[in-house]
């Protein structure tokens, strides 16, 4: 069994004071829109009227997936280690955006099907050289599941002990939109047709094939476990159809929340990791900042499930944590207005009259 989590919802003791501070800034009530809600959430999580996100960190988890053997991706599996090296060399989208915003980047190997060597930005927590093909057998053992979750826990602890006050997560793994779609179907009870999307650019025929592989994989898992999906525990679901990097992200989210640290959710795959984390410990969602709405079709349904209003909607479907880092300047702005903008009293500005 993987690590258990005891996550408390953020306390409400500061909420009234926090809302009053937001409302007393030199602006009409609510005129900064979603930025005000974001400022409130950050203050609520950090239990302060002066929240800070001055020490962020981006962690990208990487792994390979056996189900790629079923032709569910446009790209071959060797692209995963190639892209990991691109991250480390500073050439990927998430790399250049992290450089732009001075956010430290760490890439964590939890299951890449290659030896990656050593690099200052690389964390080596390899569980195995790829998961198994879950259309044929369980994706992983219980021991491997525990290792994957623990990899995320350890990375979150490492960052928080360094003084990080905002964690951002991303992923890399050819085939992981298929894995995420399969996990979503199992977790939410939606059809594979509704959870499967184009990923890296599949056409309609490719998406239909992906949905069929997901359907076959879930049927295989129900036969092997002797249980319908609706009765699967988090453990069973992850072992049968999970992915190492997705579960590591979930572990990092759960530990971040357990340590009362806000984290930024990227796109579709990262949101599925949160969906799994919610099954493990529902209060984890209170600590999640939703960065953007992905162009992957099922992401809209996922966001609706969480009642989330993401910061951005740019038609992204890259992954890597790219949406999370692009949202970071606006997360900073939420803190800046709350901490530095004048109040009506301090500026000597007359407030609006009541009705």
Give catalytic residues, as residue numbers. Answer: 320
In eight-state DSSP terms, residue 292 is B
Q: Beta 263-265 vs 288-290: how paired, if at all?
A: parallel
The SS3 assignment for 249 reads: helix
| Backbone torsions φ then ψ of 343, nearest 5 degrees | -90, 170
Burial 251-270 (b: 16+ CB within 10 A, else e): bbbbbbbbebbbbbbbbbbb
Tell me the β-bridge partners of 109. 62, 124
- CA 341 to chain centroid, in Å, comes to 31
Distance CA 333, CA 68 (A): 41
Coil vs helix vs strand at 140: coil
Task: Identify any residues that bridge with 264 across adjacent strands, giving them in sequence order.
Answer: 168, 289
Q: What is the distance between the alpha carbons of residues 342 and 171, in angstroms, rounded to a whole number?
A: 39
Task: Report the DSSP beta bridge partners of residue 166.
Answer: 56
d(CA 41, CA 306) in angstroms, rounded, equals 15
* Cα 44 to Cα 167: distance, rounded to the nearest angstrom: 16
Q: How many CB atoms lie within 10 A of CB 189?
A: 10
- Which distant-in-sequence residues (6+ apart) come within 8 Å of 336 by Cβ? none
Beta strands in 54-116 (DSSP E): 56-63, 105-111
């Amino acid at each position: 069994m993987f690590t258990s989590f005891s996550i408390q919802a953020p306390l409400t003791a500061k909420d009234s004071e926090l809302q009053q501070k937001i409302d007393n800034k030199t602006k009409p009530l609510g005129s900064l829109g979603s930025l005000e809600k974001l400022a409130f959430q950050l203050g609520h999580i950090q239990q302060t009227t002066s929240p800070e996100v001055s020490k962020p960190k981006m962690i990208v988890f990487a792994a390979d997936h056996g189900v790629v053997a079923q032709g569910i991706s446009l790209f071959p599996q060797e692209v995963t280690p190639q892209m990991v090296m691109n991250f480390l060399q500073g050439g990927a989208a998430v790399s250049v955006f992290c450089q732009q915003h001075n956010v430290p980047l760490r890439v964590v190997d939890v299951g890449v099907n290659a030896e990656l060597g050593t690099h200052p930005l690389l964390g080596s927590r390899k569980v195995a050289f790829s998961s198994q093909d879950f259309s044929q057998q369980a994706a992983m053992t219980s021991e491997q599941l525990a290792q994957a979750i623990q990899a995320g826990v350890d990375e979150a602890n490492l960052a928080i002990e360094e003084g990080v006050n905002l964690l951002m997560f991303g992923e890399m793994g050819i085939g992981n939109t298929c894995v995420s779609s399969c996990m979503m179907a199992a977790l939410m009870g939606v059809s594979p047709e509704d959870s499967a999307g184009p990923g890296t650019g599949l056409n309609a025929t490719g998406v239909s094939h992906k949905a069929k592989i997901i359907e076959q994989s879930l049927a295989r898992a129900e036969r092997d476990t002797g249980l319908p999906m609706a009765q699967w525990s988090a453990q069973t679901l992850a072992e049968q159809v999970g992915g190492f990097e997705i579960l590591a992200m979930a572990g990092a989210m759960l530990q971040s929340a357990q340590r009362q640290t806000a984290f930024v959710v990227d796109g579709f795959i990262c949101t599925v990791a949160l969906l799994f984390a919610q099954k493990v410990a529902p209060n984890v969602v209170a600590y999640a900042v939703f960065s953007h709405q992905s162009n992957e079709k099922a992401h809209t349904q996922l966001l609706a499930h969480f009642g989330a209003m993401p910061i951005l909607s740019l038609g992204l479907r890259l992954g890597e944590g790219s949406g999370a880092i692009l949202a970071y300047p606006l997360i900073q702005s939420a803190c800046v207005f709350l901490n530095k903008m004048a109040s009506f009293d301090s500026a000597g500005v007359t407030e609006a009259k009541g009705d």
